[in-house]
Amino acid sequence: MLKQMTARMDFHANALLLRAQRQQVLASNIANADTPGYVARDFDFAQALKSVQGGASVSPVALTDARHLRLGSGDPRQAEMAYTVQTQPAQDGNSVDLDRERANFVDNSIRYESTLRFINGHVKTMLSAITGQ
């Protein structure tokens, strides 16, 4: 019974954790906008959420032998990080596109907030269900 009440919350909790992680990655990109040689990083949110939900890490490379090294962390709770593509190549090798990063940052923070609202709404629904009034 309790599991049914919290199952939907789990989904939003996972989404919130991934949003927080992405927010941090985007903050690193903005912080390193002037660092020579820095390559901006990001991850595919939908893919990461799917991998958290499924519980199994989706490796980009198949492991066909026990001695193969695994790419990425191998932890399904952690998103597989990737490198962004340079839009306007710079002489110093820095691949941060500040406009894109800022847009992503704002987008991600609004989605973080909406996930929070979903959780709050869910809590309110459940509370009104158990008070029975």
Partner 1 sequence: MSMFNIFGVSGSAISSQSQRLNVVASNLANADAVAGPDGQSYKARHVIFQSVPMGPQGSAGVKVKDIQESDAPGRRVHAPHHPSADAEGYVTHSNVNPVEEMVNMISASRSYQNNVEVMNTAKSLLLKTLQMGQ
User: Can you tell me which of 8, 11, 14, 41 binds partner 1, judged by CB under 8 A?
Assistant: 41
CA atoms within 13 A on the CB side of 47: 13
Smallest gap from Cβ 90 to partner 1, in A, equals 13
Query: For residues 104 and 26, is the Cβ–Cβ distance under 8 A?
Result: yes
Note whether 11 binds partner 1 by CB under 8 A.
Answer: no
Alpha-carbon distance values, 88 to 32, 95, 133 (Å) = 16, 8, 59
Q: Which stretch binds partner 1 (CB under 8 A): 44-52, 53-61, 62-70, 76-84?
A: 76-84
Query: Of the two residues 46 and 66, which places its CB atom closer to partner 1 in the complex?
Result: 46
Alpha-carbon distance values, 123 to 9, 16, 76, 120, 129 (Å) = 8, 15, 26, 5, 10
Note whether 103 binds partner 1 by CB under 8 A.
Answer: no
Beta bridge partners of 42: 82
The site for partner 1 (CB under 8 A) is made up of 16-17, 20-21, 23-25, 27-28, 30-36, 38, 41, 43, 73, 78-79, 81, 98, 102, 105-106, 109, 112-113, 116, 119-120, 123
